[in-house]
Amino acid sequence: MNILIVEDHLPTAESLTFYLQSKHHVVHATSCNAARIHLNHKPCDLILLDLGLPDGSGLEFCEPNLPDHIPTMVISGNAHLHTKITALDAGADDYILKPFSPAEVLARINALSRRFTPRSTTTLLTVGQLKLEEGRAEYLTQQAQLTQTEAQVLRQLMQTPSQVIPKSQLPATTSLEVHIKNIRKKLEVSKDHRLIETIYGVGYRLNPY
């Protein structure tokens, strides 16, 4: 998961980074403006947000009604009930009071990530005889566990079956051929009928029974 820490107390940001970087990709911003630049450059999956920043309160990042709302956990030394309520009402998803234990931060991050997992990645997709659910795929007599990237590639092909999808629109463009080869190996029952057809110079097409 990509985590953005917005915190102006540098040692706090560094110690949080130390703790989280073994499990997540962590970037750090010291002000609202720097955070905005980070978010424009690369979207993140979660924001850890201090409220008392040099150029604002940071609550602008909590906006709950935007379609691309990023789960936000406020990390603050302010224990006032009014501040907590204001932050949560502004759209923060969680509020943790400093000083906190590293284990609690991690547990809350995990809870938030479970709550915000897109439903589309956990629902069952079916096209003809092909079924895909959370990386588990079934096709005719074959059953296989796909890697995360293989599942992403197959899911995207299943969104528009029988249509050619250009390589550039599929995930893992550079290693795409390897992933396609692996999916075929795991799911195809016969080489006479290609589940995933290569359209040379263009892309791939899903043709399930």
Instruction: Tell me how far apart the alpha carbons of residues 147 and 138 are, in angstroms, rounded to a whole number.
Output: 14
Cβ count within 10 A of residue 197: 13
Q: To the nearest whole angstrom, how small is the minimum distance from the Cβ of residue 90 to another protein?
A: 19
Q: Euclidean distance between the first and final Cα of the chain, in Å?
A: 36
Identity of the residue, 15 or 123, whose beta carbon is nearer to another protein in the bound complex: 15
Count of beta carbons in the 10 Å neighbourhood of residue 123 = 10
Task: Give the residue among 33, 39, 31 at the shortest CA–CA distance from 13.
Answer: 31
CB of 12 to another protein, least distance (A): 5
Quote the DSSP letter at residue 92.
-
Residues that bind another protein (CB under 8 A): 9, 11-12, 14-16, 18-19, 52, 75-78, 98-103
Closest CB to another protein among residues 107, 189: 107
Is the separation of the CB atoms in 149 and 172 below 8 Å? Answer: yes
The smaller minimum CB distance to another protein, of residues 64 and 102, is found at 102
Q: Residue 47 or residue 157: which is nearer to another protein going by CB? A: 47
For the bound state, the minimum distance from the C-beta of residue 13 to another protein, rounded and expressed in Å, comes to: 10
Of 66 and 79, which has the nearer Cβ to another protein?
A: 79
The structure tokens listed for 196 are 């995933």
Smallest distance from another protein to CB 76, Å: 8
Burial annotation 158-176 (CB, 10 A radius, 16+ → b, else e): beeeeeebebeebeeeeeb
| Tokens describing residue 27 | 């970037």
| DSSP label of 69 | P
Rounded to the nearest whole angstrom, what is the least distance from the CB of residue 198 to another protein in the complex? 47
Q: In the bound complex, what is the minimum distance in angstroms from residue 21's beta carbon to another protein? A: 10
Between 99 and 201, whose beta carbon lies closer to another protein? 99
CA separation for the pair 4, 2 (Å, rounded): 7
